[in-house]
Chain A
Amino acid sequence: QQPVQSPQAVILREGEDAVINCSSSKALYSVHWYRQKHGEAPVFLMILLKGGEQKGHDKISASFNEKKQQSSLYLTASQLSYSGTYFCGTSGGGADGLTFGKGTHLIIQP
């Protein structure tokens, strides 16, 4: 079952914050976040493995609510380089392959 991402697209000014949500109808073992720029390969951002776990680096962080089967990606004080499509990928446990959401297109304007 493909996770559902929201919003589908968001346009921000540089310096503004954004939240991207990912929810699943089935129990999650892990949530993976990737960013893809146009014409390029997806690039890994972070993995969340435990319920309630929060991770982050620089101004990008994420949380994982295992009970609600949801994860959120937080982008703080967005930079132009944050533009791209963000995907969450989920696994049900025991398997390495991911089921990805359809992506959230993020556009950062100067």
Chain B
Amino acid sequence: DARVTQTPRDKVTEMGQEVTMRCQPILGHNTVFWYRQTMMQGLELLAYFRNRAPLDDSGMPKDRFSAEMPDATLATLKIQPSEPRDSAVYFCASGFSGNTEAFFGQGTRLTVV
């Protein structure tokens, strides 16, 4: 049963610490998305990759967030330094390019205290 896998599922960290979230997309998918979900803002697109190349990261605070795809089986989202306002559920999703359905992982619930 193919699925997007995200780790960790939950993360509690102190303000100022570095946080790394990982995502394993579904094998064969060439597009990977990072979304953030909060009560206030809803689901926001942070960045996405096509064939491992970053295509759009305009939704990310550039000074503290970075997203990479070291290889086709791993996408990472890093926050350094973390702040309480970064507390949210971060979803990774994968799919094929060209307006097709995206499959979401179970998310990483991040709490920054």
Contacts and interface: CB of A to CB of B under 8 A. Distances in A.
A98 B91 contact: no
A103 B48 CA distance: 22
Nearest to B46: A97
A53 B24 CA distance: 34
> For A44, A47, A49, A101, which residue has the most chain B Cβ atoms within 10 angstroms?
A44
A77 B100 CA distance: 28
Interface residues of B, number: 25
A43 B45 CA distance: 16
Interface of A: 2, 29-30, 32, 40-44, 47, 49, 87, 89, 91, 95-103
Interface of B: 31, 33, 35, 42-45, 48, 50, 55-56, 59, 91, 95, 97-107
Top 6 nearest A-B pairs (CB, nearest first) are A41-B104, A44-B101, A100-B43, A97-B45, A102-B42, A97-B48
